[in-house]
């Protein structure tokens, strides 16, 4: 025999010399122990044999070892040095010590890897070891030695599967090892506790070693064979036989996979691989002690149920799954077993009464989900629907412990970030799956509500689950762009959508579109179900309109709708399927074709069929339904029946048996023989197998077929028929889609769970006190708010704000000291911080929720918690504002300073204001010194308010979206309440003032969008102004706030200037008492507005408003001077005069000139402003003449303004004050003769009317008034006469050619006659007479020189000549001879004309005479 390579020897873990020593030592040890027994101590054995064969074998091994070459040790067959020890183990002559020693030697040899994987015939050696140890026989001498031997057996078996040569074992031998370990476990139950622990631990280790080999098994090398007897238990455990004199571990019955077919036998003889693992799992499933009759409810009485063995089996299953689950999908045999039998057994044992079993089952399912969810889609759905959701609710009879474990399971799954997302996309969006996501969310939210006064751990646990899901959604928001949020196209025509599958689940674009489409169809189907359950015809019409059924109904599609749509009324469905019309019959047969009855017994198939609808009571309908069932069953199971009639008859018989056995009114029950006798000769004249009928009979007797199935889609138990149908569907269901942390469907998920989550968090938050739980709730609130804002779900965010607001200072209003109470209430402070954090960060998405936030702010304001300096500034600019600070905001304690508003009037508010102040003083109570605890609470409250940054909400409102901003303003207006004529209480007025300040702040910080707010703001201010009749803080804030807004916005909002200025008209509507109280400050604000924004005021309406405000204060002693300064600013040198404000300013100046509040100098100044304004008219007239377009119309406007100026000055010419009156006459004279203004004839005539009226008034004053009141009226009359003559001469050129000139001239002469004859204090005024005569003479000379006055006019009319001299003769009779003395008279006339520079007439027109 060739020596092994050096490298082989070097790599061997045990040196060859050491191996020889080990064997020699072990032989010596065993021989020494054997010699202790007299049987082996000496003497001949028998005949010529000196030693017993067992001893001889050991001695022979010792001699052989000495002769073996250490360098060629690897070529030695292991059986040569193993056989002596194996013989001892198998021998029933050896006692327990000897057998134990031999087992110990075997363990040492295997542990030291003396049996290498490359040794010759290693498979035979390992097989021999397993067979010998599993068939170990020994003589029992005492209990301790027996337990020692059993422990050694376990050690050797474990060493076999751990050894490097373990792969040489066959599947059969691995199963034998597991079987033997289990027999030891069973026998250890009657032994000591140490052996019990060792045996169970060893079996765990053996199973772990077996399944740890799965990653090393090549899946391609395993033949694709179905394991025979997959539905039967591989091993029925029984107690190991144990006699008084000997013990034996071999048993032909107690083997894993002991019952097998030919195919399986062949597989079991192959090398260690998947078949043995399947057998082990099947054996472990058999240990779960579940009744083999799958229709029996596995839940048992707590007293009768032994959880020890199921827990042990579950522990082994858990160990095996933990080690192999990552590789199971590579091996079809193992995967098929896990999908079917293992999962079904786990679900059934999970419904046991033991919470510990449920917990272990859940752990196993969790591991399977983590590694194999893509292969266990429908199984996962069934686990949650039929086990977890069922046991998490007390209404299904679950104990508190079961509910707790079920909830813990859900929460543990929810902590897997992709779990709920995958449940939604794979279950809720699958037409043939239940809404697992919705059901879990609803269950968690409902479980958060406590039915008792105090919370239980279940309630908090439910919240943990919801928060885990919310947090997972929040974590995914940044993982992918939102382009995956696709709009689902509406179905425009019907197409067969039931078998639809996603083409490529690895392409997000495709599967997101597919999932959304499926969910849309599913929602419509649910609506169709509601319609169908109310009216079948309406249901079909809706489904056809939604294109979920074809326009022309056909049986296959209706059958699919009946079969796969949950929630249908099963009574209606049964009646419809049993109808006799041809279409219903076709639907019934198509409906039956949707079932898979292969490999199902008749009763199981019938159960599955009848669970989908209620069997009607009419015999004909039952007949038709059973005929359809029988045809389908015979089609898929033809071997048992010769024709479908046999299946029909037996189905009828089963229904009758079911009624007979489970109807309480049937007293005499059918026996087994009766049932068999009733079914003779039904199979084509032959009998069915008696065993088949007997099994069928007992199945029906033991488990009723429910002909009245449960309605709805609740949590039903998983029967075998259900499971068979699930396995049928799993082969055709759409593939499981992995989430991969993408938020493609998170919007829809969050929309479903948002409100239930908010409600659950609110309930928990309101009932817990521990800060840890409170913090978790707050984190939940913030996460929900962040998601609601992210997905634009404003309604959700507003609901959250309302809920959260209930826990702030609004929580309890019964405290005497709410500020201190707030500081002591951790919950309220945490809720407040969260509320304002949401308002600050996500204010864009808050609409109706602003009402809650404003209510909270008002409560803080009322309690004095709002700081005085709430805002750093109210607008972008840094101008001081009269409305920037609250007028009555105080710190929590008297030591805090109070900040008064800038716009506080100097005077008191009148009687009511003083009375209110007295009330404040009278009702003030003495302050008590707070305790240390109260001070700490107060500091906490102040710190919380500081963290809230309440002012930021309003100063940063410019970043809010339009809708949110408008709702914020409206919330403030609503919180302010309706203003009253007299405030009902100081608090109400204080709140109204505070709200108004906030509204003003919002308006000023949103000047670019003030149009959005203006209507509501203006309406609110209007209500305040119109409703207030006494001075108060509210109307003060309204008036000056309005002025401040107008002042700040005018430079920036050209399109809103008129609206802003029009709003100031509200000030004109103030009650007289209110206006009087604030008149001076109003004037100051208006003056400032004019100074800063005069250039921005362009419309006549705007100027009218401003000037009206100035004029209304002109009569106020304190405001008049400031108002006049504003007028001077506008009119000085015409800097801000315009056609829009000219007339208004002239009239305002006249009012100030007329006012006696100021000095005569001010009146003269006002007159000068009026007179200087004529320069603007001259300038505008010149500009108009140079421009083109509508010049004529514009000149008419200038004429009108000039006339208004003349009229205003004329009114001042009758002023009682001599200096004012005379100055007005002089200025009127100046304005009448101004050059540069093209005055039309009609305007000249109107100006004469003004002068005539003025002269009449002066005459009347001079004749009737006292000289003390009107001094030196003679001078005024003299000025007026000169003014008249000057006006006539100025207008002569324009009027002489007019037809009305004669009338005007005669009116002038009449006025002269009246003036010359006037008597003042009984005598005529000589100077006046002289002036009139001289002026008349000059006019006549000018008229003569101009050709206007002559004996024959150009028109041939001599009436003017005659009328003139007729009138002149009454005034100055000698003037005729003076004017027309002959040629001299002409020369004199020409001399006067030259002296006065009067234009002459040339060919009917005036021309300049040089």
Residues designated catalytic? 618
* 557 and 496 Cβ atoms separated by less than 8 Å: yes
Task: Name the nearest CA neighbour of 436 among 363, 500, 522.
Answer: 522
Specify whether the CB–CB gap between 1409 and 1391 falls below 8 A: no
The residues facing 1405 across adjacent strands are 1402
Q: What angle do CA 971, 802, 952 make, to 5 degrees?
A: 55
Pairing of strands 137-139, 1323-1324: unpaired
Angle between helical axes of 690-702 and 602-610 (0-180°, round to 10)? 40
| Pairing of the two strands 1319-1320 and 1323-1324 | antiparallel
Length of the chain: 1410
Measured distance CA(797)–CA(842) in Å, rounded: 9
CB 1409 within 8 A of CB 1393: yes
Residue among 1039, 921, 916, 887 nearest 985 (CA): 916
Per DSSP, helices labelled H in 502-601 are 508-534, 536-545, 555-564, 570-577, 582-592
> Cβ distance 463 to 776 under 8 Å?
yes
Whole-angstrom Cα distance, residue 396 to residue 389? 10
In Å, how far are 125, 255, 263, 471 from 283, measured between CA atoms? 26, 9, 18, 42
Please name the helix (run of DSSP H) or strand (run of DSSP E) that holds residue 1038, with its range, or none.
helix 1033-1049
Torsion (CA) 523, 528, 531, 536 in degrees, nearest 10 = -160
Smallest Cα–Cα separation from 809: which of 941, 631, 975, 935? 941
The answer to whether 924 and 845 are in contact (CB under 8 A) is no
C-alpha span between 387 and 373 (Å, rounded): 17
Question: Do the strands 246-248 and 1319-1320 form a parallel or antiparallel pair, or are they unpaired?
Answer: unpaired
Q: Which two tokens stand for residue 457?
A: 């751990």
Strand 1405-1407 to 1400-1402 pairing: antiparallel
Tell me the C-alpha distance between 33 and 74, whole Å: 30
Pairing of strands 246-248, 1323-1324: unpaired
Tokens of 1120: 């008049």
Annotate 715-769 with three-state secondary structure. CCCCCHHHHHHHHHHHCCCCCCCCCCCCCCCHHHHHHHHHHHHHHHHHHHHHHCC
Strands 1400-1402 and 137-139: unpaired
* CB within 8 Å of 1254: residues ≥ 6 apart: 1210, 1213, 1214, 1280
Task: Give Cβ neighbours of residue 756 (< 8 Å, ≥ 6 apart).
Answer: 441, 442, 444, 445, 466
Token pair listed for 845: 């998405």
Dihedral pair phi/psi, residue 1400, rounded to 5°: -100, 170
- Smallest CA-to-CA distance from 1341 within 1381, 1306, 1295, 1370 is with 1381
């Amino acid at each position: 025999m060739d020596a092994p390579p050096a490298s082989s020897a070097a790599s061997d873990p045990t040196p060859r010399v050491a191996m020889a020593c080990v064997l020699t030592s072990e032989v010596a040890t065993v021989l020494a122990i054997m010699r202790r027994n007299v049987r082996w101590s000496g003497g001949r054995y028998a005949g010529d044999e000196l030693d017993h064969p067992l001893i001889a074998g050991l001695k022979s091994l010792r001699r052989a070892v000495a002769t073996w070459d250490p360098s060629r040790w690897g070529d030695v067959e292991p059986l040569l040095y193993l056989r002596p020890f194996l013989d001892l183990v198998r021998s029933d002559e050896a006692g327990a010590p000897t057998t134990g020693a031999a087992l110990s030697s075997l363990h040492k040899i295997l542990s030291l890897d003396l049996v290498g994987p490359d040794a010759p015939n290693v498979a035979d050696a390992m097989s021999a070891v397993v067979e010998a140890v599993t068939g170990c026989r020994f003589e029992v001498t005492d209990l301790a030695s027996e337990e020692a031997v059993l422990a050694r057996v376990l050690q050797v078996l474990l060493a076999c599967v751990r050894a490097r040569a373990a792969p040489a074992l066959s599947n059969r031998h691995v199963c034998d090892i597991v079987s033997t370990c289990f027999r030891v476990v069973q026998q250890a139950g009657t032994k000591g506790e140490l052996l019990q622990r060792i045996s169970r631990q060893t079996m765990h280790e053996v199973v772990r070693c077996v399944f740890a080999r799965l990653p090393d098994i090549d899946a391609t090398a395993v033949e694709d064979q179905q394991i025979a007897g997959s539905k039967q238990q591989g091993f029925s455990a029984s107690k190991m036989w144990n006699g008084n004199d000997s013990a034996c571990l071999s048993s032909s019955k107690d083997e894993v996979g002991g019952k097998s077919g030919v195919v399986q036998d062949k597989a079991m003889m192959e090398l260690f691989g998947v078949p043995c693992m399947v057998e082990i799992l099947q054996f472990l499933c058999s240990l779960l002690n579940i009744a083999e009759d799958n229709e029996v409810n596995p839940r048992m009485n707590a007293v009768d149920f032994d959880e020890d063995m199921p827990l042990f089996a579950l522990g082994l299953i858990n160990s095996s799954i933990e080690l192999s689950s990552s590789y199971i999908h590579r091996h079809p045999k193992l995967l098929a077993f896990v999908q079917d039998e293992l999962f079904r057994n786990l679900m059934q044992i999970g419904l046991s009464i033991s919470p510990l079993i449920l917990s272990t089952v859940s752990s196993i399912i969790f591991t399977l989900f983590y590694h194999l969810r893509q292969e266990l889609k429908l199984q996962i759905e069934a686990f949650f629907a039929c086990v977890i959701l069922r046991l998490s609710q007390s209404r299904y009879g679950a104990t508190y412990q079961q509910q707790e474990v079920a909830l813990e399971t859900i929460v543990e799954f929810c902590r897997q970030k992709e779990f709920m997302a995958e449940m939604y996309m794979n279950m809720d969006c699958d037409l043939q799956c239940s809404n697992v996501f919705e059901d879990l969310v609803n269950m968690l939210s409902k479980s958060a509500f406590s039915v008792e006064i105090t919370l239980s751990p279940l309630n908090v646990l439910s919240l943990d689950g919801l928060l885990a899901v919310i947090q997972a959604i929040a974590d995914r928001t940044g993982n992918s762009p939102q382009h995956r949020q696709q709009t689902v196209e509406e179905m425009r025509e019907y197409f067969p959508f039931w078998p639809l599958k996603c083409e490529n689940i690895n392409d997000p674009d495709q599967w997101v579109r597919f999932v959304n489409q499926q969910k849309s169809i599913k929602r419509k189907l649910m609506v169709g179900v509601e319609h169908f359950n109310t009216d079948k015809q309406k249901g079909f019409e809706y489904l056809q309109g939604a294109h979920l059924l074809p326009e022309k109904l056909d049986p296959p599609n209706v059958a699919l709708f009946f079969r796969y749509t949950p929630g249908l009324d099963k009574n209606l469905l049964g009646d419809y399927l049993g109808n006799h019309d041809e279409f219903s019959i076709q639907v019934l047969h198509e409906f039956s074709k949707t079932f898979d009855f292969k490999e199902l017994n008749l009763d199981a198939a019938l159960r599955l069929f009848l669970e989908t609808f209620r069997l009607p009571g009419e015999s004909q309908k039952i007949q038709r339904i059973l005929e359809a069932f029988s045809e389908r069953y015979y089609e898929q199971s033809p071997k048992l029946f010769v024709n479908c009639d046999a299946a029909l008859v037996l189905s009828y018989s089963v229904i009758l048996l079911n009624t007979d056995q489970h109807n309480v009114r049937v007293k005499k029950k059918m026996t087994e023989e009766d049932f068999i006798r009733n079914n003779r000769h039904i199979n084509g004249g032959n009998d069915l197998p008696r065993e088949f009928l007997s099994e069928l009979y007992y199945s029906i007797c033991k488990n009723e077929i429910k002909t009245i199935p449960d309605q709805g889609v609740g949590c039903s138990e998983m029967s075998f028929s259900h499971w068979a149908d699930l396995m049928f569907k799993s082969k055709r269901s759409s593939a499981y889609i992995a989430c991969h942390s993408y938020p493609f469907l998170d919007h829809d998920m969050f929309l479903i769970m948002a409100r239930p989550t908010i409600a659950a968090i609110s309930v928990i938050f309101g009932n817990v006190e521990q800060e840890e739980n409170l913090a978790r709730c707050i984190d939940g609130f913030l996460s929900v708010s962040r998601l609601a804002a992210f997905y634009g779900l404003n309604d959700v965010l507003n609901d959250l704000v309302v809920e959260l607001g209930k826990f702030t200072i609004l929580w309890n209003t019964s405290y005497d000291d709410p500020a201190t109470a707030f500081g002591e209430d951790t919950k309220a402070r945490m809720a407040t911080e969260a509320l304002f954090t949401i308002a600050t960060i996500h204010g864009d998405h808050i609409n109706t929720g602003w009402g809650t936030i404003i209510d909270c702010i008002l409560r803080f304001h009322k309690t004095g918690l709002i700081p005085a300096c709430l805002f750093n500034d109210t607008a972008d600019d840094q101008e001081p504002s009269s409305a920037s600070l609250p007028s009555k905001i105080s710190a929590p304690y008297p030591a805090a300073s109070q900040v008064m508003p800038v716009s506080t009037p100097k005077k008191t508010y009148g009687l009511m204001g003083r009375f209110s102040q007295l009330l404040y003083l009278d009702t003030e109570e003495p302050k008590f010194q707070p305790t240390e605890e109260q001070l700490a609470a107060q500091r906490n409250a102040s710190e919380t308010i500081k963290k809230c940054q309440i002012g930021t909400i309003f100063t940063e409102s410019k970043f809010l979206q339009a809708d949110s901003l408008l709702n914020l303003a409206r919330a403030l207006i609503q919180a302010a309440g309706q203003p009253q004529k007299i405030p009902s209480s100081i608090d109400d007025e204080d709140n109204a003032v505070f709200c108004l300040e906030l509204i003003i702040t919002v308006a000023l910080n949103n000047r670019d969008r003030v149009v959005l707010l203006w209507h509501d703001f203006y309406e609110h201010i209007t209500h305040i102004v119109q409703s207030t009749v006494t001075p108060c803080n509210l109307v003060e804030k309204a008036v000056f706030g309005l002025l401040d807004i107008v002042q700040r916005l005018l430079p920036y909002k050209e399109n809103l200037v008129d609206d802003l200025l029009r709003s100031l008209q509200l000030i004109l509507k103030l009650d007289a008492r209110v206006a009087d109280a604030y008149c001076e400050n109003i004037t100051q604000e208006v003056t400032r507005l004019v100074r800063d924004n005069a250039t921005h005021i362009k419309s006549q309406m705007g100027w009218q408003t401003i000037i009206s405000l100035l004029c209304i204060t002109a009569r106020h002693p304190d405001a008049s001077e400031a108002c006049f300064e504003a007028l001077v600013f506008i009119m000085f040198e015409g800097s801000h005069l315009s056609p829009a404000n000219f007339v208004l300013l002239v009239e305002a100046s006249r009012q100030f000139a007329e006012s006696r509040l100021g000095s005569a100098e001010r009146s003269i100044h006002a007159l000068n402003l009026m007179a200087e304004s004529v320069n603007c008219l001259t300038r505008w007239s010149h500009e108009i003449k140079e421009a083109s377009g509508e010049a004529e119309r514009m000149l008419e406007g200038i004429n009108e303004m000039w006339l208004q100026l003349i009229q205003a000055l004329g009114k001042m010419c009758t002023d009682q004050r001599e200096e004012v009156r005379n100055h007005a006459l002089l200025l009127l004279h100046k304005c009448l003769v101004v050059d540069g203004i093209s005055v039309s004839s009609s305007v000249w005539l109107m100006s004469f009317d003004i002068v005539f009226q003025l002269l009449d008034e002066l005459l009347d004053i001079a004749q009737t008034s006292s000289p003390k009141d009107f001094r030196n009226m003679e001078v005024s009359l003299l000025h007026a006469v000169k003014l008249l003559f000057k006006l006539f001469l100025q207008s002569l050129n324009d009027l002489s050619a007019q037809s009305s000139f004669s009338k005007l001239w005669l009116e002038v002469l009449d006025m002269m006659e009246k003036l010359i004859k006037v008597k003042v204090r009984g005598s005529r005024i000589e100077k006046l007479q002289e002036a009139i005569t001289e002026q008349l003479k000059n006019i006549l000379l000018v008229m003569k020189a101009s050709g206007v006055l002559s004996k024959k006019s150009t028109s041939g009319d001599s009436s003017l000549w005659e009328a003139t001299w007729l009138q002149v003769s009454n005034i100055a009779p000698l003037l005729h001879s003076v004017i027309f003395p002959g040629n001299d008279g002409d020369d004199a006339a020409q001399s006067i004309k030259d002296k006065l520079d009067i234009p002459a007439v040339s060919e009917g027109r005036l021309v300049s005479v040089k």
